[in-house]
Amino acid sequence: MHLTFLVGSVHGNATALAQTLQLSAADLGTTIDLLPMDGLDIAVFDRPGAFVICTSTTGTGDVPDNAQALYHALDAQARYLGHVRYGVIALGDSSYGDSFCGGGKRFDERLQDLGARRVGDICFLDASSTMEPDDEALAWLTHWVTQVPADL
Ligand SMILES: Cc1cc2nc3c(=O)[nH]c(=O)nc-3n(C[C@H](O)[C@H](O)[C@H](O)COP(=O)(O)O)c2cc1C
């Protein structure tokens, strides 16, 4: 199976995490492409395989600046994405209260609006309480890949 990680990051935490997970691709029986979200549009979802939205949150529950173009393209270029299977790794900090992991949640809501189907639960990584985010994310990904339809 092939995975495309779409990475939204302000200060590099989400990018570093995605790079760490990419190192485990062979062990998981996958290949992983990492794409920073900068400048992407909805056409990225025409790629084969499944997708992982790996994004932090900035402002008050906002998507990172480098994710704005793709996030807004999901409105401006809205079309049915029923073929898309995706997972979400959402980085945030629960000290921000109601806006916790808003970046990942926003992508999740918008993709579901367009008919895309999320596989599994969102992986929430809380900077205030997650001691080993790499380990938690790898455990999540290891289980997640088993839930993705094999024919993708
Ligand atoms: C200015 C600023 C605003 C933030 N706002 C939120 C927020 O609203 N909700 C949240 O869950 N985390 C928020 N965070 C926490 C980040 O999402 C978290 O630290 C994350 O690990 C950063 O990853 P990155 O380096 O990939 O951007 C904020 C961080 C900063 C610096």
The token duo for 152 is 């993708």
Between the CA of 26 and the centroid of ligand 1 the distance, in Å, is 30
What is the domain partition of the chain in residue ranges? 2-147
What was the pLDDT predicted at 129? 96
Rounded-to-integer distance, Cα 23 and Cα 36, Å: 17
Provide the 3-class DSSP secondary structure of residue 91.
strand
Contact 41, 77 (CB under 8 A): yes
**35-79 pLDDT, tens digit each:** 999 999 999 999 999 999 999 999 999 999 999 999 999 999 999
Segments of the chain scoring below 70 in pLDDT: none
Options 3.40.50.360, 3.40.50.2300, 3.30.2420.10, 3.10.20.30; CATH for 2-147 is: 3.40.50.360
User: Which residue out of 5, 11, 20, 56 has the highest number of ligand 1 atoms within 8 Å of its CB and is therefore the one to mutate?
Assistant: 56
Is the whole model's pTM more than 0.85, yes or no? yes
CA distances (Å), origin 48, targets 1, 4, 43: 9, 9, 11
Smallest CA separation from ligand 1 atom 16, residue: 92
Does ligand 1 come within 6 angstroms of the Cβ of 58?
A: yes
CA distances (Å), origin 113, targets 74, 88, 117, 135: 10, 15, 10, 31
